[in-house]
Amino acid sequence: MAQSEPAAPLPLVVHRHVSILTTDDPLLLTELKADRKIGPLLLVQLSDTAVVIAPGSEETVARHLLKAGHLPKICKAGV
Amino acid sequence: MSDAFIEEAFPDPFAPMDPEERMHLAMLFNQYQADTVKRLAQRWLGRAARTRKQECIEQLLGVLAAPDSLRTVYDSLTPFEKSGLWMLLQRGGTLPVLEFAPCLLAAGYEFSEQVNYHSSYRYGMSYGSSEGYLQPLISLEETGLLLNISVDSWSNSLEQTAFVRHTATHGVAMLRRLLPHVQPVPPRPLELPPCTESLSGEFRRPAQAAMPIVSLMEALRGVGEFSLTNKGAMPRPFINRIVKRLGDGFAAESPAFPDPAGFYLQLLISAQFVTLPLLGREISLDPDIDLLMAEPYAVQATHWLNGYRSLKVWHETLPAHVHLYGDDLHRTNSLHAIRNLVVTALGALPDPGAWYATSAFSEALFARTRGRLSLGYQQPWHPSYSLSKAAQEKKYAEHLEKRRLAWQTTEQPLIADMLQGPLFALGLVEIASLSDRGQAFRLTDLGRSVLYGVPLFEATQDGGAAPDAWIIQPNLEVIAYLDRARPQDLAFLAKIAERKSSTGPVAVYSITRESAYAAFEAGFTVDELLRGLQQSSVRELPDVLIRSLREWAARRERIVLYPQTSLLQYADTADRDAALPSLPRTAQPLGDRFVLLPDGPPRSLTARKEVQSIDYAAAPFRCVSVTEEGHLRIDPRRADLLVASELGAFADPVPGTPGAWTLTRESVQRAVNAGHTAEGILKALGTRARSSIPPILVVAVPRWARKIGQPAPASLHTLLVLELPTEEIAAAVEASHRFQPLLRSRLGPRAFSIAPEDEAAARRLLAEYGLLGAAALAPPEPGTTPTSASRSAAKTTRPRSRKAASGE
């Protein structure tokens, strides 16, 4: 999809094809960020329980989470 | 226009022929030669056939349009022709030639040996010879009821074309209007005596045969993407990953059954349960695969057997002198011919329940085919017309005997391997040893069901109560009883548990955190899993199993990954909260300004002009300005969510100035210590920079990163210049092995540079060779005027130092 280029900041921005990880507990997200394999892939914190992950790293994040003993739910849906 | 294309356009054999179909069929017949059309008309209509091509075509079309007339044509066919059409119908109406022709031979009906020179040439048969194994196919084609098609070996499909290039890529299809008239005509029984010994053999129960296939399907679901190799095969690492998921004891390997994982994988592809990606990377499973896996075993086994008949890439152990090269394995080849011969002949046993010696079966096949079929090249038989009839017959008998001996060496071992390898593994034959060390076989119940339609007794019929198919132990191992497990039970277990081992009628599975997770990811809820496990369990489920599944299900809700999803970003919390009621119910607020939309944004939102859209699947916005000093500045109007974190990996933020960063030696070294490379840093910066990165930074970053292998940094040195009066003297000095260690570099035709520390040695040598006055042996004091003695044939000059330049 083509990027649109506004002249001034707009009240609403739609981010598409962005990968998000959420946790049910802020401490859990802190623990994940401290993990040396998973942490570098968690790029932008949106809230205390949500973070944007590096594009293209979804499978790697899922794999590292499984190895670390977590059971992430993967929600694939339309964009 | 191709033959079969016409048929595909009008697939309903019961519908009346409309003008368009009539026109296309007319075009088909017009492609044939005139004598072919006339021959067809005579065949179909007898004396009523006309003599001109177009009139004959009209008559043929009239027959095809009238079901009664077509039925009359069918009824006039010979048993051989009816049998051939029935076998073709059983395989779906289309088949490659190399698979179909051996079936016609194996059926055992008499066919016309009349030579059709045109067809012989087209099939590459020896000119004038009717002896080849393709002769029965040529004979069947004379009915006019078959169409020519081309086989696409890569997609395993039969494509439509009028041009036949090679037997390996040639197929036939039945005229669809004939389909409703074709009746079952089984093959003629072989002349094959049963074993007289009392035998006890080994066989696989239907569930044992199904288990590897079901396990493989589940492994394929979870294994991920891959790319085909250049030759269109699956890469070895991918196959290794599948085998690893299947675990030890997946399938026993033997000389008769090499590479079981490869066999089952190709079987699924050949049976079209699985499609390889021609363009993409993901393997595709048949969307109805779960329904297929729950079908009765006899139905599944029919798919497996047809898949085995056409299976490519994997092959049985070949005799030493038979070779199949890389590309041959991806096409229909002579192995398929032998497989189809054997499978058809298994449907022609005199007594489907009896034991037969494999060697006797092989001899019977040779006799049935009259020695026409072979894995390799066969010398064609040409009668010698100069001999008497008796002499010719004697020669032919000798020729046939040679072929029979060759058959015993080449094809017979292969037939034995087919029986005790793939056909045994698929649960279709039982194998026993004879007292003379030979091998014997008989069909299993499943084999008889598939090949003779004998109903197979299965533990429960559909709709009945689930059987007690397993026991679940407190250590979460599942002991499954294969003689009671229904196909849907096996399919369910493969989804939720990992297979550990199987011995005879029992298989052991283990429910683990990973297997339960895979089941949740496949869409099962914990209640559905517990219900499914309890349904076929001998006793109540252990508490530890219930607790474990519920705990794993709960843990799964703790971390949620939304790959490639949509996110809305509002200016502030008030705007976000005001918009929430108008968003889909699946929208989730995140933080103070964001909303997660797992199902994507509504179109009404994206169509609005005041909405900015950023697509992270597209190339990133170039929103960073870069200066030679290493100052990086993000344009906030173009920035996306990721750019700040990308810069933060290798640059330092400027305190108090949002969007400003600096790239320094320290920040680069920090990035390198964290695992980044200089190339990666420059590439990341390059994708975001609004213009090209200043060259000095391109040069500096690798040096800051202390990259090994870069050219040595620049440096300043003090050198002496040795200037000689003539080029001849300079050449002589350069050639001297005593001077060479002192000469740093050539500065011109008569000048060299010398390191300061070598000055004394250089002066001694110059003086020795009379090139320097004795007074000029020592280096001159700074500021002193050289004496006339030092102005000799040679002089050394020191580049002006700052002191000399300052006049001291």
Instruction: Quickly list DSSP for B147-210.
Output: EEEEEETTTTEEE--S----GGGEEEEE-GGGGGG----PPPPP--PPP-S----B---HHHHH
Q: Which residues partner with B597 through β-bridges?
A: B566
Contact B612 A55 (CB under 8 A): no
Does A61 touch chain B if contact means CB atoms closer than 8 Å? yes
Query: Running along chain B, 808 residues long, what does each successive block of 10 average in pLDDT?
Result: 48 76 84 84 88 92 88 91 92 88 93 64 48 81 80 48 52 82 93 92 91 85 66 71 66 80 88 73 73 88 94 86 72 88 96 96 94 78 79 87 91 94 95 91 95 76 67 94 88 88 84 92 92 93 95 91 93 90 90 90 71 88 91 90 93 93 92 89 93 86 70 70 87 85 90 89 82 47 43 49 42
Q: How far apart are CA B290 and CA B524, in angstroms?
A: 14
In the three-class reduction of DSSP (H, G, I as helix; E, B as strand; rest coil), residue B507 is classed as strand
What pTM was computed for the model?
0.72
Task: Determine the pLDDT at residue B503.
Answer: 77
Query: What's residue B790's pLDDT?
Result: 40
Task: Report CB contact under 8 Å: B613, A77.
Answer: no
Q: Helices (H), strands (E): how many in chain A?
A: 2, 4
Cβ B558–A28 below 8 Å, yes or no? yes
Task: Name the more confident of A9 and B217.
Answer: B217
CA atoms of B89 and B183, how far apart (whole Å): 9
Read off the tokens for B34: 């005139």
b/e B498-531 (16+ beta carbons within 10 angstroms → b): bbeebeeeebbbbbebebbbbbbbeebebeebbe
Is B558–A23 a contact, with Cβ atoms under 8 angstroms apart? yes
The shortest CB-CB distance from A14 to any of B563, B568, B592 is to B568
Number of inter-chain CB pairs under 8 A, A vs B: 201
CB contact under 8 A, A20 and B596: yes
Residues of chain A contacting B635 with CB distance shorter than 8 Å:
none
Q: Best mutation site among B549, B552, B565 for testing chain A: the one with the most A CBs within 10 Å?
A: B565
pLDDT value at A79 more than 50: no
Contact A66 B514 (CB under 8 A): yes
ipTM of the complex: 0.91
pLDDT score, position B548: 95
Q: What confidence score (pLDDT) does residue B231 get? A: 64
What tokens were used for B673?
Answer: 């210590």
Query: What pLDDT does B81 receive?
Result: 93
pLDDT of residue B718: 75
Tokens encoding B523: 């869409």
By three-state DSSP, how is residue B104 classified?
Answer: helix
For residue B290, the 8-state DSSP code is H
Instruction: Count CB atoms within 10 A of the CB of residue B4.
Output: 25
The verdict on A31 touching B (C-beta cutoff 8 Å) is no
Distances (CA, A) of B445 to B10, B192, B213, B424: 40, 20, 19, 12
**Chain A residue whose CA is closest to B551:** A71
Contact A4 B613 (CB under 8 A): yes
Spatial separation of the C-alpha atoms in residues B652 and B664, rounded to whole Å: 8
Residue B482: HSE in the Cβ half-sphere, 13 Å Cα cutoff:
21
